[in-house]
Amino acid sequence: MTDANAQIQETVDGNDVVLFMKGTSEMPQCGFSSRVAGVLNFMEVGFQDVNVLADEAVRQGIKDFSDWPTIPQLYVKGEFVGGCDIITEMTLSGELDTLLETNGVPFNKAAADKIRESNA
């Protein structure tokens, strides 16, 4: 296991929700990362952000780790959930709510409902 792979595994295992993204939750550096971080922040989901731009080994390593070619990447309770398009679809369908509830991750249900109402 490479150092980057071990670091990624430790981060995924050590946090209920992890977003590997370009930039940080407070200062996203791409639109897709901004969208996912914005959804999580709006829904008041506590999550660990990992700025892949800060470490090239992690930037490439996360793609190899998940076998998924793009960033951002969301993990919930150690499981890879998806990237921006998947998280957007799951948010609008209510699947993200179910995933969070099933895994005991607190979030603001009213905020999630508001996202769906605004996009109906």
Q: Would you say residue 1 has pLDDT above 70?
A: no
pLDDT digits (tens, 9 = 90+) for 30-62: 999 999 999 999 999 999 999 999 999 999 999
User: What is the rounded radius of gyration, in angstroms, for the C-alpha atoms of the chain?
Assistant: 14
Number of domains within the chain: 1
Q: By residue range, what is the domain housing residue 23?
A: 3-118
Q: What average pLDDT does this structure show over 5-13? A: 95
State the pLDDT at residue 120. 85
pLDDT digits (tens, 9 = 90+) for 77-105: 999 999 999 999 999 999 999 999 999 99
State the pLDDT at residue 13. 97
Strands (E), the chain: 17-21, 48-51, 73-76, 79-82
State the pLDDT at residue 2. 74
Which two three-digit tokens encode residue 7?
A: 């670091």
**Any idea what the CATH number is for the domain that residue 38 is in?**
3.40.30.10
What mean pLDDT value characterizes the chain? 96
Q: Which residues contact 91 (CB under 8 A, 6 or more apart)?
A: 39, 43, 112, 115, 116
